[in-house]
Structure 1
Amino acid sequence: MPARSARANYRGRRRLPTPRSRYLAVLTTAVVSSAVVALGTAAALPEPHTDGLSMEVSGNYEDITGRSGGLTGRASRADAHSTSETANQPAPDVWILPLHAYTLTSFFGERWGRLHPGVDLGAAQGAPFTAVAAGRVILCRWNGGYGYNVMIDHGGDIVTVYGHASKLLCRAGQQVKPGDELALVGDTGHSFGSHLHFEVRENDKPIEPLAFMRKHGVDIQKHTESVYS
């Protein structure tokens, strides 16, 4: 009986927690509380990328890229169109001297009872002479009293003539620019000494070349060109 009563009394008592058990209980409670607080805070915060700024950037990135590409494409097309228009524009009306080292030895007008239709520019044998303006070569060959002769059609019924060359450097049908070499100075045909015979024709009639060239910014007597002044 005494032993039985002692066991019954033992089962009826509450066992006091040890200090370690109390520590574990407090730690568990803190962890659970922190989790609850974190869940509550997460519920209160907005979803990632749902604030106005983030949505605007992330949602429109492709649109912005596309618009930028479109703008770049339009700019490139505009540049190409501008370049094409520039390339198709006519060249400026540039006129220059046919030679730079020369002496004006003969003028336009009556000479020995007949018209001398141009001016003579004395120069060294073999010196290259050039086109005075842009145009198309319509004659490049031996031509009687002109010797080796070049003629250029500049449009507007204007043709320039270059005579007495020693050697031809161009061909009929060739498009030339101001300064393109045509031939070398010589003494061929009806010539008395090495020189370039230069003339200007309008509507197939010779006109006074010095005045014509001055109107186009070139003074043969003064050896000047306005385009290079």
Structure 2
Amino acid sequence: MDDARQPGRAYRGRRRAQAAHTRYAAVLTTAVVGAGIVALGVSTALPEPRNDLSLEASGNFDDVSVRGGTDRAGRSRTSNPMSNMPAPDVWILPMQRYTLTSFYGERWGRLHPGVDLGAPQGTPFTAVAAGKVILCGWNGGYGNNVMIDHGDGIVTVYGHASKLLCKEGQLVKAGDRIALTGNTGHSFGAHLHFEVREHDKPIEPLAFMRKHGVDIQKHTEAIYG
């Protein structure tokens, strides 16, 4: 297994070489100094299926709504354990060693709603920011899938995992491991499908992450700059 957080791995430029616990400490320190208090309102409501979504994402919205049900959505609206919890405004890469193999946009006549990060089977990947896991399980074309609600209508999506390391309802921080890369669902080779949704609609994730100090193409994170 390719451990993305192994110590002693050096980075050039703005990258860093430090152990996983040092990385976590840096995240917490930055959160205390610079973070605002964000009340994360969680809503699991997802849009109706779109015919122009890629085969990779097909069936995902139906599957979530059927398995989650109105009860789960209702509970999140009426009783949110994170509503009074301060969350650090820290964003990081989902993993360190990967190859960007596919971009957001049209693919085979349909929308590919995220980016694909190729990595060996079983490579750990992490939450890119603090939030609440609103889905952790099998999800149609996404295979083993994790979704994290970060508040303000922002949800990150992680698809095709070989193994899930979190559970629905769990509160996670930036850098917490949530799953291992795999080839489940509508996938061709081991990779992480990563996407960002704003108010239930997929948006271009590279630009969004750059606004939050993370450059997926350059493998850099502003917090460690």
Q: What TM bracket, shorter-length normalisation?
A: 0.5 to 0.7
- For 1:110-149, what aligned pairs fall within 5 Å after superposition? 110-149=106-145
| Aligned residue-pair number | 144
Structure with more of its chain in helix, by fraction? 1
Q: Which residue of 2 aligns with 1:179?
A: 175
Q: Which residue of 1 aligns with 2:60?
A: none
Give the percent of matched residue pairs that are identical in Structure 1 and Structure 2.
82
Read off the aligned partner of 1:98 and give its amino acid letter.
P
**Whole-Å separation in 2 of the counterparts to 1:104 and 1:91:** 29
**Whole-Å separation in 2 of the counterparts to 1:216 and 1:168:** 26
Q: Which residue of 2 aligns with 1:222?
A: 218
**Whole-Å separation in 2 of the counterparts to 1:171 and 1:126:** 18
Q: Which residue of 1 aligns with 2:43?
A: none
Deviation, 1:89, is 7.5
Structure 2: give runs of 5+ residues left out of the alignment.
1-36, 38-83
Deviations 1:60-84 (A, max 9, x none): xxxxxxxxxxxxxxxxxxxxxxxxx
The SS at the match of 1:227 is: helix
**Whole-Å separation in 2 of the counterparts to 1:210 and 1:200:** 9
Once the two structures are overlaid, the 10-residue window that deviates more, 87-96 or 141-150, is 87-96
Deviation, 1:160, is 0.1
Structure 1: give runs of 5+ residues left out of the alignment.
1-86
TM-score normalised by length of structure 2? 0.62
RMSD of aligned alpha carbons = 1.6
Q: Does 1:97 align with 2:83?
A: no
Q: Does 1:154 align with 2:150?
A: yes
Q: Report if aligned partners of 2:121, 2:181 keep a CA contact under 8 Å in 1.
A: yes
**Whole-Å separation in 2 of the counterparts to 1:116 and 1:91:** 30
Q: Determine which structure has greater relative contact order: mean sequence separation of CA pairs < 8 Å that are 6+ residues apart, divided by chain length.
A: 2
Deviation, 1:90, is 2.2
The SS at the match of 1:160 is: strand
**Whole-Å separation in 2 of the counterparts to 1:201 and 1:162:** 11
TM-score normalised by length of structure 1? 0.61
Q: Report if aligned partners of 2:88, 2:130 keep a CA contact under 8 Å in 1.
A: no
The SS at the match of 1:121 is: strand
